[in-house]
Amino acid sequence: MAYIITANDLKTRGVSILNDESADESEVIITVHGKSKYVVIPIEKYNYLRECELDAALSETKKDIKEGRFVKESVDKHIKRITRG
């Protein structure tokens, strides 16, 4: 379950409010002017989500290589190609 706090609550109570509200390792949503703006999650959850993101990127890259969607070139040619803008 996500907890919702205001930016003002965070400002007045400091990070202790995050410890109080995220004790069960849920995310805390911070609102600014009534709109959800930020999410605070425990570092373990962040690391897990980042690992999932990297696994997905690796899987996508392997698929691209398998299907021939890549360019093999020298460093100089690569730099020229990506800086043509």
How many CA atoms, within 13 angstroms, populate the side-chain half-sphere of residue 21? 21
Question: What pLDDT score does 18 carry?
Answer: 85
Q: Is 28 exposed, middle or buried (0-12, 13-18, 19+ CB in 10 A)?
A: buried
Q: What is the mean pLDDT of the chain?
A: 91
Q: What is the pTM of this model?
A: 0.69
How many CA atoms, within 13 angstroms, populate the side-chain half-sphere of residue 45? 10
Q: Where are the domains of the chain?
A: 3-41, 44-82
Place of tokens 């949503």: 29
Question: What pLDDT score does 22 carry?
Answer: 62
Asked if 6 contacts 38 with a C-beta cutoff of 8 angstroms, the reply is no
